[in-house]
Structure 1
């Protein structure tokens, strides 16, 4: 307290006790004015201005010199209208806008006759049909296996009219049953393989952390 310092350093900078020091001073039963810096005391203020301040002479009493006086700036009246900005001057190959491209030296193609040098508003040629556009997106997987049924003609024939139907009916049933069992076996194997791959991806860390 006698050194007039505090850990927050506000007392040392301002010369006035901070809230921490003020709490301690009031608890001690003393006045805050006793711990204020000397520069804030009325006695110091009176000592500062006891000698008085000599005023300066006005502009009419300044000494005259042989030098030229200060020349006022020229009266520049701006031109009517919007004032020019101070941007850099563009070169002949630069565009005036930073977001739009120039249409100079651009080849125009007519959408009607597909010729260059003019557009459809001034075109007097005949209309040329544009080629069909390709479908957007990736082609489907079974798109190459599709065929047009209009090129083929099918005639429904009853099976009993075929002479070999009665003889090959039993063998055909056996072969179809074998093919069906083989297809079901392949489908079951593919499902088991997919489930094993999914389990290895999900719980593959188990072999490293048993």
Structure 2
């Protein structure tokens, strides 16, 4: 069991899609790479990244086409196996980022307290992009910084012009042609890069993909 003290020492991000073989593992691996190259080893280890599927192909490897686009970024899916989403998946999460609005609704249906910490990936990136941090003194500690920013994002819901429905979502490429996988990979990469850039800005090291 995770203690309250341990929770305060880490920031857990959970990515959720349907089968947990395309969108959410791609997002998880890209986020992990950026975090590991953005923060010190000690601080990077305090940020946990995981993924799950609302209807996961439990135990399956990452989809071959999605993995191909991951490899094109110099990353890989070694050791990944699909995991079924459950309420306890997000009960200790600090931030849940879903592929679609339906996934977001499922997360909240299973664990209502997650309403405050669950967004679609593109929604969170959009809200972050429109926040002005200049008026705020953000904590230096990366975990406290991330939690503070998450609260700012939560409080900004409804204060920005709404996106069109499809602009909140990452289209599902599963079982489709390579152009669909390429589109999903591009959307995820852009959104994740924006999120990580805002949560943990670049220092003297340049860690970018693409």
TM-score bin, normalised by smaller chain: under 0.3
* Greater Cα radius of gyration, structure 1 or 2: 1
State the TM-score, normalizing by the size of structure 1: 0.14
State the TM-score, normalizing by the size of structure 2: 0.14
Higher helix proportion (structure 1 or 2): 2
Higher strand proportion (structure 1 or 2): 2
